[in-house]
Structure 1
Amino acid sequence: MFKQRRGRSKQGDGAAVLVAEAPAYAVTLDSVTKTYRTGATEVRALDGVSLGLRRGSFTAVMGPSGSGKSTFLHCAAGLDQPTSGTVWLGDTELTRLDEKQLTVQRRTRIGFVFQAYNLIPSLSVRDNITLPLRFSGVPVDEAWLAQIVQEVGLGDRLTHRPSELSGGQQQRVAIARALITRPEAVFADEPTGALDSRTGKQVLQLMRSLVDSLGQTILMVTHDPVAASWADRVVFLADGRLAGELADPTAETVAAHLTHLGEW
C-alpha cells in the first residue's frame, strides 16, 4: 500500500546521478494481521491493518479495550512479529529479520516510552539516559546529550537518582533515554497514564515540541481524548481493524468519534 522511495535520479553536468532520499514514512504497516491461538480458539488481534507514519509526525492510536492497540504498537515497533503482512522501519523490512537483528534495530533506531518509567534506581539521571548507548557500545555524543537534556528540562537533575524526582521528571528522563540514539521513531504506550492531569499536560507539551522542533516521529497509544488532541492525527481501531481517523483533532471530536466505534 505504501511505497518506499529509496532514491531519485538527478541530472548533473549531463550525467544522471543517484541521490539518496529517505523514505517518506518512518514506519509502514502493510496488510498486517496478528492472530493468537489458545487451544482450539483463535483470536485475531489485528486484521489487515495498513498505515504509514510520516516522518516528523505525531500520531495517536485509540480504541476500546481489546481493539488491538497494544498489538498494533508491538508489531509496528518490532516487539512482536505479525502473522502476515509487512512492517517497515524506514527502508528496512522488520518482518524479514530474526530476533537478534530485531534487537539491534530496536536498540539503535527505535525509542520507547511506557506508562511505567522503567528507570534503574541505582543510576543517575545521566546514566539512565545514556544506558542504550552503553548497551550498544557507542560513545556518548555530549553535544546531543546536552541538547536533549535542555529539550526535556533536566539540566539541573543529571546527578540525581530517580527516587529524588517527581513522576513527571522521571517520565522526562524516560523520554530523553528514548531520544539518545536519535531514533527514527518513538513509540509511547500510555505515557501519561501514571501522571496527574497537570503533569501529564507538561509531558504532552514536551512530546509535541519534540515533533515540532526536532522533527521526531512519535506514535502514542492512549485512552485519553485530551492526550490524543495533542497529536497531528488520531487513528482509531476496533476489533483489530482501522475504524477511521481524525486530522487536527480536538478532545471533543475525539470523544465524539469514540462514542460511535461500537456502531462501527
Structure 2
Amino acid sequence: MIETTTAPAIRLSSVSKVHGSGDGAVTALDRVTVDLPRGTFTAVMGPSGSGKSTFLHCAAGLEKPTSGSVLLGGTELSTMDENALTAVRRERIGFVFQSYNLVPALTVEQNIALPLLLGAAEADPEWLRHVVERVGLADRLHHRPHQLSGGQQQRVAIARALVTRPDAVLADEPTGALDSRTGRQVLDLLRGVVDGFGQTVLMVTHDPVAASCADQVLFLTDGRLAGSLHRPSPEAIAERMTQLGEW
C-alpha cells in the first residue's frame, strides 16, 4: 500500500452549480465542500437528481461552478478558460465511462496510447507495458474493440485513463453496462490501481456493491452533501440510501 500525502488530489470548496435563471433556476449543487485525499478511492451516491453527475463534472473541470472553488492538486480549475481546462483534462485527469468511448478503428494498444498521441504526455514504454500488464491485456494489444468483451473494453478504458499518470481517475458508472461478475473484476482493478499505483479514483455509481469497494462513500441529496461512510458494507450503503430516499 502506497502511503498518501496530506494534500488532497481534488478539493471542492463551497461549490454551487445553478442551471438556468429566475423561476426556472435549478440548483444542482449547493455549497458542497469536500477533500479527496491522494491515493484513495471515493464513491459518490445519491438518489436520481441528487447532483452526482454535476459533482463529477465540476471535479473534472467539465462544468464550471456557479460559485466556489475546485482545486486539482494546487491548480484552480474554476477560473480557467476553456483552452486551459482542455489541457488539464487531457494531461492530468483520466476518464472512465459506462460506454467505454473507445475508437473502433484503433487497436487496443493504440486506444490505450491515444492520450500520448494527442500530446498529453511523453510516451514512456516501460510505464505503458506496466499498465497493460496490470489490466491484463498483454495478449490483446493487436485486437480491436469489437473483438473484446465488455469487461475487456472497460479494461482498455482504464488503461487509457492511467497512461498519462493523472492526478486522478474519474469514473462515471464504470460497471453499469457489465454483468455482476465482470463488474466485480473491473472494480477489483480500480481498487488495485489505488492500492498498487497510489492512484486517486473518484467514482459515481448507483450500486451499493460497487460503492463498497471504495475507502469512503459520499452521499448527495438535493445537491447537498448528506454525510459519508468509511469502508462500509453494501448493506450499510443500501440502508443509508433508503434513508436518503425518505428525506
TM-score bracket for this pair, using the shorter chain length: over 0.9
Question: What are the Cα deviations for residues 168-205 of structure 1, in whole angstroms up to 9, with x where unaligned?
Answer: 00000000000010000000000000000000000000
Are the counterparts in 2 of residues 23 and 90 from structure 1 also a CA contact under 8 Å? no
Q: Aligned residue for 2:190?
A: 207
The number of residue pairs the alignment matches comes to 243
- State the partner residue of 2:67: 84
Superimposed CA distance per residue, residues 20-59 of structure 1 (whole angstroms, 9 cap, x where no aligned partner): xx76100000000000016740000000000000000000
The superposition leaves residues 35-87 of structure 1 with CA deviations (integer Å, 9 ceiling, x where unpaired) of 00167400000000000000000000000000000000000010000000000
Residue of 11, 22, 26 corresponding to 1:43: 26
| Paired residue secondary structure (2:78) | helix
The residue type equivalent to 2:83 in the other structure is K
- Structure 2: runs of 5+ lacking an equivalent: none
After the TM superposition, list the runs of 4 or more consecutive aligned residues in structure 1 that deviate by more than 2 angstroms: none
What residue number does 1:150 align with?
133
Matches within 5 A, 1:212-223: 212-223=195-206
What amino acid sits opposite 1:77 in the alignment? Answer: A
CA contact (8 A) 1:125 1:173 kept: yes
Q: Give the whole-Å Cα distance in 2 for the aligned partners of 1:23 and 1:246.
A: 20
Q: 1:138 to 1:88 in 2, by over 3 A?
A: closer
Letter in 2 for 1:117: Y
- Which residue does 1:98 correspond to in 2? 81
Question: Which SS does the other structure have where 1:85 is aligned?
Answer: strand
Match of 1:110 among 81, 86, 93: 93
Letter of the 1:217 partner, please give it. Answer: T
CA distance in structure 1 between the aligned counterparts of 2:69 and 2:129, rounded to whole angstroms? 37
- When normalised by structure 2's length, the TM-score is 0.96
1:230 aligns to what?
Answer: 213
Partner in structure 2 of residue 251 of structure 1: 234
Unmatched tracts of structure 1, length 5 or more: 1-21
Aligned equivalents of 2:232 and 2:171: distance in 1?
Answer: 18
Question: 3-state SS of the aligned residue for 1:33?
Answer: strand
Structure 1 residue 126 corresponds to structure 2 residue 145? no
Q: Give the Cα–Cα distance (whole angstroms) in 1 for the partners of residues 235 and 60 of structure 2.
A: 29
SS at match of 1:61: strand
In structure 1, give the amino acid aligned to 2:158. I
Counterpart CA distance in 1 for 2:148 and 2:155 is 10
Equivalent position to 1:160, from 143, 147, 157 = 143
Deviations, residues 184-233 of structure 1 (Å, cap 9, x unaligned): 00000000000000000000000001000000000000000000000001
Amino acid at match of 1:63: G
Larger Rg, first or second structure (1 or 2): 1
Which amino acid is the alignment partner of residue 38 of structure 2? R
Q: Distance in 2 between matches of 1:142 and 1:250?
A: 39
**In 2, are the aligned partners of 1:23 and 1:91 still within 8 Å (CA)?**
no
RMSD: 1.2
Structure 1 residues 105 and 153 mapped into 2: Cα distance closer, same or farther (>3 Å)?
same
Q: Deviations over 1:71-123 (max 9, x none)?
A: 00000010000000000000001112110000010000000000000000000
User: How many angstroms does 1:136 deviate by?
Assistant: 1.4
- Going by fraction, where is strand more abundant, 1 or 2? 1
Percent identical: 65
Q: 1: CA distance between counterparts of 2:214 and 2:23?
A: 40
Q: Is the 8 A contact 1:73 1:221 kept in 2?
A: yes
Give distance in 2, aligned partners of 1:79 and 1:94.
10
> In structure 2, the residue corresponding to 1:260 is in which secondary structure?
helix
Helix, strand or coil for the counterpart of 1:53? strand
